[in-house]
């Protein structure tokens, strides 16, 4: 059984930075693939960034590439999302997700088995 617990959400001004964390329980093979999704009010959940914790490959939503960095600390079993140059349109609840399957897609939330409870990020203009 895998549990994901996010932290780090906050309110910041446009141009600011935040770092989200997601602590994962369970053996590493149960969450080989990890990702961050977000859901803004009135919008569908969208994949923001993903990582293969085995080889370190990363994937990003076009609108955040260059501003966001996903990383994983294997020793701490923790996923991170460093968010820089934040914009008001980045405001959303951010969720940590994990899967052990075959290449879950960032564009397909239904591919991901395990989900955290979410953490709120608010960016003011």
* pLDDT number for residue 31: 86
pLDDT tens sequence across 13-35: 999 999 999 999 988 888 899 99
* pLDDT number for residue 88: 97
Contact predicate 50/38, CB 8 Å: no
Going from the C-alpha of 34 to that of each of 15, 41, 87, 125, the distances in angstroms are: 26, 23, 24, 30
pLDDT tens sequence across 59-118: 999 999 999 999 999 999 999 999 999 999 999 999 999 998 778 999 999 999 999 999
Contact predicate 43/63, CB 8 Å: no
CA-wise closest residue to 44 among 95, 80, 88: 95
Contact predicate 106/38, CB 8 Å: no
């Amino acid at each position: 059984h895998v549990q994901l617990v996010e932290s780090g959400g906050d309110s910041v001004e446009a141009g600011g930075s935040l770092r989200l964390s997601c602590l994962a329980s369970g053996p590493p093979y149960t969450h080989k693939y990890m990702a961050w999704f977000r859901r803004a009010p009135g919008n569908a959940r969208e994949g923001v960034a993903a990582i293969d914790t085995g080889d370190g490959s990363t994937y990003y939503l076009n609108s955040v590439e260059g501003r966001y960095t996903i990383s994983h600390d294997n020793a701490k079993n923790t996923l991170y999302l460093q968010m820089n140059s934040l914009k008001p349109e980045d405001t959303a609840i951010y969720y940590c997700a994990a899967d052990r399957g075959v290449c879950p897609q960032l564009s397909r939330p239904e591919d991901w088995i395990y989900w955290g409870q979410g953490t709120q990020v608010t960016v003011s203009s």
